[in-house]
């Protein structure tokens, strides 16, 4: 686009229909042209520089964040949980699922235990990691980057509607409630509200803390830290 603009400005007089008065008119006024050309060139350069700056700003605004630094390390989560026994694990780049249970529950509930349903398609990057500990204690983080903020918010809305419908069905063995915490965050609650989802920019975040006495506090603290990193990315 930029090179096309330059060509149209520079060659408009010589290679299209000529300037007003004809091509020879330009030659006859060579002194005027020589005085005007530096100013014209300066204007062209300024326009090109402005276009480049605007393009660079637009690309920076639309650039997807680097996803790996968004996740907390096991040491960071150990500090938050107050539990040094959580084990390190490597992140995965595809959401998992427990689809052996799908036949037991309505489709609206599948996002409760299937990560690949909670994080439906359309994202460009995905990472998840779980840090397990004794007595089935686990902290799980999941992050998906979508093309736009609207796409991330739409994914959150779809998931929220499905889980809210699941909670209203009163399914045996699936005693959950879905709570909207703010415009960008909702929680899935059982004994505690310890499964949280949030959309921030093009990023959809999911955090789950299980089998801790203060699972809700742990999940909230992890979510807040990931949110801060996503906003700073």
What tens digit of pLDDT does each residue of 199-226 get?
A: 999 999 999 999 999 999 999 999 999 9
Same domain, 49 and 76: no
**Same-domain check for residues 18 and 132:** no
Q: Same structural domain for residues 118 and 51?
A: no
Together in a domain, 118 and 49: no
82, 187: one domain: yes
- CA-based end-to-end distance of the chain: 29
Other beta carbons within 10 Å of 86: 20
Q: Are residues 39 and 76 in the same domain?
A: no
Quick check: 39 pLDDT over 70? no
77 and 183: one domain? yes
Q: What domain range includes position 170?
A: 68-232
Query: How many separate domains does the chain show?
Result: 2
Rounded to whole angstroms, the Cα distance separating 93 from 49 reads 39
Distance, in Å, from the CA atom of 176 to the CA atom of 22, rounded to the nearest integer, reads 80
pLDDT of residue 54: 56
Same domain flag for 121 and 190: yes
Given a cut of 90, is residue 44 above it in pLDDT?
no
- Is 199 in the same domain as 221? yes
Confidence of residue 233 (pLDDT cuts 50, 70, 90): confident
């Amino acid at each position: 686009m930029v090179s096309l603009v330059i060509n149209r400005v520079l060659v408009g007089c010589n290679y299209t229909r000529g300037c007003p008065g004809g091509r020879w008119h330009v030659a006859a006024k060579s002194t005027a042209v020589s005085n005007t050309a530096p100013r014209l060139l300066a204007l062209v350069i300024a326009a090109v520089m402005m276009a480049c700056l605007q393009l660079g700003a637009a690309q920076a605004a639309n650039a997807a964040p680097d996803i790996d630094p968004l996740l907390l390390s096991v040491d960071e989560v150990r500090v938050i949980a107050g539990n040094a026994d959580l084990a390190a694990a490597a992140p995965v780049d595809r959401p998992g699922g427990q689809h052996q249970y799908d036949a037991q529950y309505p489709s609206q509930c599948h996002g409760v235990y299937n990560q690949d349903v909670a994080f439906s398609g359309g994202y460009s990057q995905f990472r998840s990691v779980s840090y397990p500990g004794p007595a089935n204690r686990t902290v799980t983080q999941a992050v998906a980057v979508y093309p736009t903020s609207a796409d991330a918010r739409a994914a959150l809305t779809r998931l929220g509607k499905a889980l809210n419908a699941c909670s209203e069905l009163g399914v045996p063995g699936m005693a959950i409630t879905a709570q909207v915490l703010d415009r960008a965050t909702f929680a899935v609650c059982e004994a505690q509200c310890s499964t949280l989802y949030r959309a921030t920019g093009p990023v959809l975040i999911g955090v789950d803390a299980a089998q801790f006495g203060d699972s809700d506090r742990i999940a909230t603290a992890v979510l807040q830290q990931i949110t801060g990193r996503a906003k700073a990315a």
